[in-house]
Amino acid sequence: MTRATWLLASAGIVAAVSLGAQQASQPAPPAPQEAAPQPPITFRAEINYVEVDARVVDAQGAFVGGLTAADFQVLEDGKPQKVDAFSFVNIPVERRARPLFAKAPIEPDVANNLEGYDGRVYVLVLDDLHTQPLRSQRAKQAARAFIQRYIGANDTAAIVYTSGRADVSQEFTNSQRRLLASVDKFMGRKLRSSTLERLDEEARTRGTRQQGDRIDDPFDQERAFTARNTFDSLRNLSNYLAGISGRRKAIIFFSEGVDYDIYDVFNTSGGASTVQQASRDAVAAATRANVAIYGIDPRGLGAMGDDMIEVQDTPQDASLGLGMSSFGDEVRRSQDSLRVLSNETGGFPIVNQNDLNAAFERVVADNSQYYLLGYYSTNDKRNGRFHKIEVKVNRPGVTVRSRRGYVNARTNAPKDDGKTAPELRAALMSPLPMSALPLATTAAVFKGPEGKGAVVLSTLIGARDLELVEKNGTFNNDLELVTTVADYGGKTFPGDRATLTLALKADSVPRLRAGGFRILNEIDLPPGRYQLRTAAREGNTKRAGSVIFDVDVPDFTKDKLSISGIALTSATSSVVPTARPKDPLAKMLPGPLTTYRDFVVGDELALFVEIYDNSSKAAHKVEIEASLKSEGGQSVFTTREERDSSELAGGPGGYGFTTRVPLKDVAPGLYVLRVQGTSRIDDRPQVARETIVRVVAPPAR
């Protein structure tokens, strides 16, 4: 990591760049839509704090609203507990906004925590260890349906494989495209049915085996190993999610279930007891973290029918237990594992169902409306024992669904290492963005040195409520900002760290309040898929915030034609106070890279992209077009220019393209800004980038 420190006096923080005569006031971040207030998501709680969510329904299954804390009673091990925190969570399902002419939603290119977080938290666990390879498509179809139809724009989700394949997993995101891309790589790797393996073993040894000899599963040890891996994955994931409180967390577990016989301790290779303990540990971790598991068997009706087709004949010796009923026992055990995981953690199993839509709707309802109750347990012993929880309501004719209890930890929480401020460390380690300090970040990727991509970052720290302390005529605060980088294989890369000292004169404070404070930097990364975590902490109140940003760094030399990200700025955003330790776009843009996507009528946009041409050494032309289209598809701005391949002789291999987009006569509304490049050679390869911008009316004076 590089470390830089700047002293920013009021004389040096105001950018002097102007894109035109129009200098409208800086637009404020968009106001959230009216909705029921949600309890804040928090990430740190005392070790004996217990959180339990309760869903109350009437005899018809309809949710019962309007209850207060006085209507509830919480018992732990039969003893009444004082409810210290109570809230009603009512999360609407927000549809993904997209222009009417767009075939699919256009992903935002800015990550922010400016409006906090108020959606559902899902983790889709794809159990490739217990999905038969030929049935992989069923699991993929079920997971894709849940992502496409039931994850809202305000939700966040992650994809985890029980085999531990980090290269195909997906960290928390609300990008439907990224979630589907992870699911599409799924391939089951379940071992062949234990019954089939034993039947093959019986046929192979039929002439040499004595009557009554036991037929062992030759893959019993490996089967026990995969069972433990699956339960360990659920346990570790629940421990990770334990860092989130203030919201229900749901694991959507797509699995054919663990069919290992945990009760046959004599006829297995000794794995029954260890698998049984692993299953208990998984349930214990989920209940401790208030994580609900929904076990979904994508096989539907007729499970194991595919395996039974392979049977040619069965042995006459009934004592071997190798008849058709053995397949039924496998199905029962596998589905029972899903039932136990679900019922014990407050979720519900979805088995023997071909139509999953109604079940998915129940999952969404479960995580959309509920009551959240928190209490400090009177039992502060860390002995790893189970504690029964009962939630009662003083209303007749209603049913309360909640987790049945929890297993407390055996040890206290680990202490801070002391090397990083605890608030900043918590923000970086948090599974979800933290919003105590407002942040927004964007990244535009360009062709960099030595085959790498140059990731240009712009981070905006909201300053509307930033605490400033007056001293010797200036208003002061310290900001510390850290960006960490890791690929999906778990490898970390050098990020960035900056410490900034704000010392402002009184007339500069309103500018800071209105526009925030921006930091620009650049990180060079080889082609790959990365997650960037940016966290900031201010010194006066110790508040910290974080954002999580997924970045794809392409190999710009691979395709015939490729395109960089869209670097965008505007006249009004250029006046935001900006620190520029490294601004590689200073010569390409008339103002600093902005994270704003809301612009006032009368503003002027400026953009910069690069088109990389690897199509042919033969002379040819490349047409570059930039357009701004309204939500209905009407074009309000278009510009084109033609470039010649001779420009690339001895150069970096890219056409730099800049243009200005005036918003003087553009009506308020949603627009798509698109840049497209087309090579006039061979099969006319084409590339494009799009981003959504919103034009808003000037504030009333």
Q: What is the mean pLDDT of residues 94-121?
A: 76
State yes or no: pLDDT of 593 exceeds 90.
yes
The answer to whether residues 79 and 376 touch, using CB atoms and an 8 Å cutoff, is no
**Would you call 534 helix, strand, or coil by DSSP?**
strand
pLDDT at 275 (0 to 100): 92
The answer to whether residues 97 and 105 touch, using CB atoms and an 8 Å cutoff, is yes
Distance (Å, whole) CA 549 – CA 458: 12
pLDDT at 43 (0 to 100): 46
Buried/exposed 188-209: b ≥16 CB within 10 Å, e otherwise: bbbbebbbbbbbebbeeeeeee
Distance (Å, whole) CA 320 – CA 212: 7
pLDDT at 483 (0 to 100): 93
Domain range annotation of the chain = 2-30+418-696, 49-91+370-407, 118-367
Distance (Å, whole) CA 512 – CA 10: 10
Report CA-CA distances (Å) from 594 to 444, 532, 589: 11, 18, 11
State yes or no: pLDDT of 287 exceeds 80.
yes
Q: What is the mean pLDDT of residues 104-116?
A: 79
pLDDT band at 8 (very low <50, low <70, confident <90, very high): very low
Q: What share of the chain is helix, strand, coil (3-state, %, to 5)?
A: 20, 35, 45
**Would you call 687 helix, strand, or coil by DSSP?**
strand
State yes or no: pLDDT of 114 exceeds 80.
no
Closest CA relative to residue 127, chosen from 195, 227, 261 = 227
Q: Greater confidence, 102 or 182?
A: 182
Q: Greater confidence, 645 or 318?
A: 645
pLDDT at 199 (0 to 100): 82
State yes or no: pLDDT of 348 exceeds 90.
yes
pLDDT band at 19 (very low <50, low <70, confident <90, very high): very low
CATH entry, 2-30+418-696, from 1.10.1040.10, 2.60.40.3880, 1.10.1500.10, 2.40.30.10 = 2.60.40.3880
Mean pLDDT taken over the chain: 84
Q: What is the mean pLDDT of residues 412-436?
A: 73
Only one residue has tokens 């906004």, namely 97
Percent of the chain, pLDDT > 70? 83
pLDDT at 443 (0 to 100): 95
The answer to whether residues 56 and 603 touch, using CB atoms and an 8 Å cutoff, is no
Q: What is the mean pLDDT of residues 35-59?
A: 69
| Least reliable range by pLDDT among 82-86, 143-147, 298-302 | 298-302
pLDDT at 305 (0 to 100): 61
Q: What is the mean pLDDT of residues 639-643?
A: 95
pLDDT at 11 (0 to 100): 28
Q: What is the mean pLDDT of residues 449-461?
A: 93
Buried/exposed 492-526: b ≥16 CB within 10 Å, e otherwise: eeebbbbebebbbeeebbebbebbbbbbbbbbebe
Q: Greater confidence, 213 or 404?
A: 404
pLDDT at 94 (0 to 100): 79
pLDDT band at 315 (very low <50, low <70, confident <90, very high): low
pLDDT at 212 (0 to 100): 65
pLDDT at 404 (0 to 100): 85
pLDDT band at 618 (very low <50, low <70, confident <90, very high): confident
Both tokens of 23, joined, read 């200098």
Q: How many CB atoms lie within 10 A of CB 325?
A: 12
State yes or no: pLDDT of 507 exceeds 60.
yes
pLDDT at 470 (0 to 100): 94
Q: What is the mean pLDDT of residues 297-307?
A: 75
Report CA-CA distances (Å) from 671 to 100, 323, 628, 668: 10, 65, 6, 9
pLDDT at 101 (0 to 100): 65
pLDDT band at 3 (very low <50, low <70, confident <90, very high): very low
Percent of the chain, pLDDT > 90? 54
State yes or no: pLDDT of 445 exceeds 70.
yes
Q: What is the mean pLDDT of residues 133-154?
A: 94
Assigned CATH topology for domain 118-367? Rossmann fold (3.40.50)
pLDDT digit string, tens, across residues 368-387: 999 999 888 877 665 667 88
Q: Greater confidence, 194 or 12?
A: 194
pLDDT at 29 (0 to 100): 37
